[in-house]
Amino acid sequence: MILDRQHHGKPGKDDQGASYEGLVEVDLTAAYIDHAKTALEVAGVEVLVLQWGRYSQRHAYARAVADAAPEKVVYVACHVNAGGGSYGLACHDSRSRAGARLSEAIAAELGTLTGKARADGASPARWSNAYSTIEGIYEGPASLSGVCFEPGFIDSEAHRWLWYADGLVRVGEALAAGVLSYLKEQ
């Protein structure tokens, strides 16, 4: 399992991601990643957290990990959305059937928090920003699946509760539960 704290650690940039009323994306992703990591490790899943380098470097690292692993490897590009929407999102590379199953499993768990969660395929023409966060994952071995995870909107009143202590625990746990559901598939 690879959790990628995106926006953070890009060379030559101070990219903090979305922000709204004192909430900052890179801080929120760090918090829910910690909770997801803990839940996954308790379930016996080895977890790596990436937070430095260009996305292409992170994708190359994920491919190398998957090449060496004897089982499924999951890559999650961790984000928080902005723009006032009302849903959570798990986007996969539209060419990937395994990615589709992974995004559906994560969206099913996320929907219990947001009331509405989408699992959708991304491409250069559709969800292009989400696609750029995972585009190098599809080039890896068939055992590697990836999603861009955006659990909610930082500027949505309906999602505001997600960005505080209890909500961030629940976001991390929902992400972990979706990943575990996918990993249990035969």
26-to-129, 154, 162 alpha-carbon distances in Å: 17, 12, 14
Domain ranges, ordered by start, for the chain: 2-184
Model confidence over 85-137: pLDDT tens digits? 999 999 999 999 999 999 999 999 999 999 999 999 999 999 999 999 999 99
User: What's the pTM value of the predicted model, to 2 decimals?
Assistant: 0.97
* pLDDT of 186 above 80: no
Angle at 36 between CA 32 and CA 41, to 5 degrees: 150
Which pLDDT score is estimated for 12?
86
Answer yes or no: are the C-beta atoms of 67 and 143 closer than 8 Å.
no
**H or E segment and range at residue 112:** helix 97-114
* pLDDT of 73 above 80: yes
Domain at 2-184, CATH class: alpha beta
* pLDDT of 167 above 90: yes
SS3 157: helix
Model confidence over 10-52: pLDDT tens digits? 888 889 999 999 999 999 999 999 999 999 999 999 999 999 9
* pLDDT of 151 above 80: yes
Which pLDDT score is estimated for 77?
98
Exposed e or buried b per residue across 111-136, where buried means at least 16 C-beta atoms within 10 angstroms of its C-beta: bebbeebbbbbbeeeebeebbbbbbb
Q: Percentage of the chain with pLDDT > 70?
A: 99
Task: Tell me phi and psi for residue 102, to 5 degrees.
Answer: -65, -45
Q: What is the DSSP letter of 153?
A: B
